[in-house]
Amino acid sequence: MDENLFDKNGRDPAPSYRLEQGMGGPVAGVDEAGRGPWAGPVVAAAVILDPADIPAGLNDSKKLSATQRAALFDEIMNRAAAVALGMASVAEIDHLNILRASLLAMKRAVEKVSPKPAFCLIDGRDVPPITIPARAVIRGDGISLSIAAASIIAKVTRDRLMAALAEKYPAYDWHKNAGYGVPAHRKALELVGVSPHHRKSFAPIRNILTQDS
pLDDT tens across 151-209, in order? Answer: 999 999 999 999 999 999 999 999 999 999 999 999 999 999 999 999 999 999 999 99
43 within domain boundaries: yes
Number of H helices, E strands in the chain: 7, 5
| Structural domain of 108 | 3-166
C-beta separation of 184 from 176 below 8 A:
yes
pLDDT for 24 equals 85
Chain-centre distance of CA 87, in angstroms?
10
Tally the domains of the chain: 1
pLDDT for 213 equals 55
213 within domain boundaries: no
171 within domain boundaries: no
112 within domain boundaries: yes
Task: Check which CATH number belongs to the domain holding 25 and give it.
Answer: 3.30.420.10
157 within domain boundaries: yes
CA distances from 41 to 45, 65, 207 (A): 13, 22, 20
Residue 138's contacts (CB-CB under 8 Å, 6 or more residues apart) are 1, 124, 125
pLDDT block averages, 10 residues each, the chain of length 213: 47 86 93 98 98 97 97 98 98 98 98 97 98 97 98 98 98 98 96 97 94 67
189 within domain boundaries: no
pLDDT for 3 equals 37
Taking the C-alpha atoms of residue 140 and residue 125, their distance in angstroms, rounded to an integer, is 10
Helix (H), strand (E) at residue 33: strand 27-33
Taking the C-alpha atoms of residue 123 and residue 179, their distance in angstroms, rounded to an integer, is 22
22 within domain boundaries: yes
90 within domain boundaries: yes
